[in-house]
Amino acid sequence: MKRNSVSAFTLIEMLVVIAIIAVLAAFAVPALTNALARGQMTGTMNNARQLYLATFQMATDGATNSDPNLSWPGDDTTLAAGASLKDFCQKLLQNDYLKAGDIQKILNAPGANCTATADTATPPSLTLSGTSALKLYKVKESDSSNTIFAVSSNYIYNAVPAANAAPYGDKGFVVVRKGGDASTFRKNQSTVANYGNDANKFQGTIGKLTGDADGTVTTEGGKILTQP
């Protein structure tokens, strides 16, 4: 009687297969991680644009109605010199350009958890706590369209993002400019040195700070709304 032999993997063959899978995983995991971070940054970019659109609409209404209380953050004389992100978001809330729930959604991202709550007073008072995913600059009506309006909080202008900076560390950062265009960038696009120290090229790609002349790169100190 003839018996059929049953073939099986040897231990060596199984170890080879496992080693191949491990090597493939080592290549695949970083790519998947980067793809996930890119997707999350796109969400943050869309949130930042929503904040931009609310601000743009408020500033447009202020210009149309000659109301100085409705303006870009850098033109708002009702905000103190040390005005915070909370102060400006409260103005958007009180003038019904955003709801408290909208503000909380906009200011959150992976690793940056911000809570926004409003009381029942008239007008409502806003409270922000935690870490905001976005930084806002004191942009003015007179600024050009490539002036930066907001960035993800892990980016300091003309500096490489730190690996532990919320929300995205050194995986990349988000920029929204006064003209309304927004982009995500890699850490090797973050400084003027990445552009051969060509300030005009850096400003043309990333944007410039409020008050800066073309070809002049300054620091962001004093040009941002303080974080909660």
Residue 27: the pLDDT is 66
- Domain span including residue 140: 11-205
Number of domains making up the chain:
1
DSSP 225: P
Evaluate whether residue 223 is within a structural domain: no
Task: Please report whether residue 215 resides in a domain.
Answer: no
Whether 227 is in a domain gets the answer no
DSSP code of residue 192: G
CA–CA dist 182, 46 (Å, integer): 8
Compute the average pLDDT of residues 24-53.
Answer: 81
* Domain assignment of residue 129, yes or no: yes
% of the chain at pLDDT higher than 70: 90
How confident is the model over 159-193, as pLDDT tens digits? 999 999 999 999 999 999 999 999 999 999 999 99
Domain contains 218 = no
Whole-prediction pTM: 0.85
pLDDT of residue 79: 74
Distance CA 122, CA 29 (A): 51
* Residue 119 placed within a domain: yes
- DSSP character at residue 9: -
**How far are the Cα atoms of 30, 31, 75, 138, 169 from residue 148, in angstroms, in the given order?**
30, 30, 15, 9, 20
Is the residue at 24 inside a domain?
yes
For 188-222, how does the pLDDT look when each residue is reduced to its tens digit (9 = 90+)? 999 999 999 999 999 999 999 999 999 999 999 88
As given in the structure block, the two tokens for residue 99 are 């709801």
Residue 184 lies in a domain: yes
Angle separating helix axes 85-94 and 11-65, nearest 10 degrees: 60
Model pLDDT for residues 98-146, shown as the tens digit of each residue: 999 999 999 999 999 999 999 999 999 999 999 999 999 999 999 999 9
